[in-house]
Amino acid sequence: MRILRHLIGWIAVVWLAAPSLSPSPRAQSQEAGSATLPRVFLYATGGTISNRTGGRLTVDELIKTLPNLDQRVRAEGEQFSNVASTALTLDQWLELSRRINDRFKKDAGLSGVVVTTGTDTLEELAYFLHLTVRDERPVVVVGSMRDPSTTGYEGPANLEDGFRVAADPAARGLGTLVVLNDEINSARDVTKTDSHRLDTFDSRSYGVLGRVIDRVMIVRKPVRRHTAQSEFDVASIKALPRVDVILTYQGAPADLIRASVDAGAKGIVMAGAGAAALSGNQREGTDYAVEKGVFIVSTTRTGSGNIAVGRGNATSRRISGDDLQPVKARILLMLALTRTEQPEEIQRIFREY
């Protein structure tokens, strides 16, 4: 009995002296804090932001360029692709939009999504997602003008800003956003304006939606239909119809328009001079297109300004592109043609989006 009492006492002393197996109050606090951080999912598609000398950064490596990110958000990621933005196909656009829609549908606790891509066609992918991701939560598209092997590489700063915006409740309902150079722009309005400068993305006369400074600051909101209010459902779209963009210039020929029609285009966006003026014998080309049942959308090559609805004649398949840049009018027409071939309906779509 005496030996048993000594043994029990010895066990008690050892147990009291041993380090606690329970987390310390500080560790418990850190764990609880991490659990309350917003969750953001990153789809990496490639582009200059990942294009270092000797090989492209993976999605995990991109996240690791942000050592303090875990203090702001809980980040996850997927390597969707790892190519230049110009190498992405329209089928990949559809697939990416489907994946984002599916993730939002299955994960109600997700705060937002970030997409990395190359800046050359960033505005096109962003606008496509703006029209086809049907959720109030933000999709933020980011990239960089300098690659990871270059002095002054700004990729991590843009990526961190993208995560911050995607995680912020103020970004809900704004559609797809383009975040670079500490600025927040609407995917509908923004365009690349310079081949090298860091402040290349600009929303023309409309201005930024906001900025990323000590906080995410939103100063205006888009009013056109997008995302959660969009009628375009990628789940039912098998392929996007061919739509070409043709530029107006002095003495431009009609044969380029005819060639586009004969090659199977369902629509042509004319990037016209001034308020959509044509030159040379381009009018003969657009007449040929309309006779063949092809839609002609009038836009301006100037970079800003709208085309009055009266400029086109919707009953004859001549549509006003409103104030959309030619490459974005192409995207909207491709999606519109998956819904209808009624000229009045397509003109409505250009008014509303």
Active site residues: 48
Q: Give me 52's structure tokens.
A: 């270092």
Which residues have C-beta within 8 Å of that of residue 259, sequence separation ≥ 6? none
* 263 phi, psi to nearest 5 deg: -85, -5
Q: Give start and end residues of each alpha helix (H) in 107-249.
A: 122-132, 155-167
Quote the CA–CA distance of 38 and 35 in Å, as a whole number. Answer: 8
Q: Choose among 181, 91, 184: nearest CA to 139.
A: 184
Q: Give me 97's structure tokens.
A: 């939009």
* 29 phi, psi to nearest 5 deg: -65, -40
Do 48 and 146 contact (CB within 8 A), yes or no? yes
Count Cβ atoms within 10 A of the Cβ of residue 92 and give its class: 0-12 exposed, 13-18 middle, 19 or more buried: middle
Do 201 and 190 contact (CB within 8 A), yes or no? yes
Tell me 322's DSSP state: B
Q: Choose among 233, 207, 232, 231: nearest CA to 219.
A: 207
Cα within 13 Å of Cα(160), Cβ side: 18
